Amino acid sequence: MRVIHHPDIHEIALANLLYALGDPVRLAIAQRLACEGDLPCCELDVSVPKSTLSHHLRIMREAGLLYCRKEGTQHINSLRRAELESRFPGLLENILQAAQVEDAATPSA
């Protein structure tokens, strides 16, 4: 497996960040990581095949939204919550809250 690139906090572009969150699958992943803490890919239980999941996670990584570290055979993903807070104060937390507002309004599961 190749070296995984993570952008420096100052290289993170707002439009990329919003793009990374502007997909139902990726937004759900962000919510889950926010609630549950760090998780390996296999515990994200999304509704897409693993090749597609891999693609979504790459977009999120390259946008600067999450950090990925290797632990044995798994890849642990974590939101870059504190870093993002320092670069765009309130932004991620506000989006996560909006996601909960939406979930509360649409009680699906």
Partner DNA sequence: TTGATTGTTCGACTTTTTCGAACTAACGAA
Partner DNA sequence: TTCGTTAGTTCGAAAAAGTCGAACAATCAA
With CB under 7 A as the contact rule, the residue among 57, 66, 92, 96 that binds DNA is 57
Applying CB under 8 A, does 91 fall inside the site for its own copies?
Answer: yes
Partner that binds at residue 46, options its own copies, DNA, none, CB closer than 5 to 8 Å by kind: none
Does 73 bind DNA (CB under 7 A)? Our answer is yes
Order the strands of the 66-71 sheet from edge to edge. Answer: 39-40, 74-79, 66-71
Task: Give CA separation, 94 vs 23, 89, 98, 99, in Å.
Answer: 17, 9, 6, 9
Which pair of tokens denotes residue 14? 């707002």
* Residues at the interface with its own copies (CB under 8 A): 10, 13-24, 27, 87-91, 94-95, 97-99, 101-102, 105
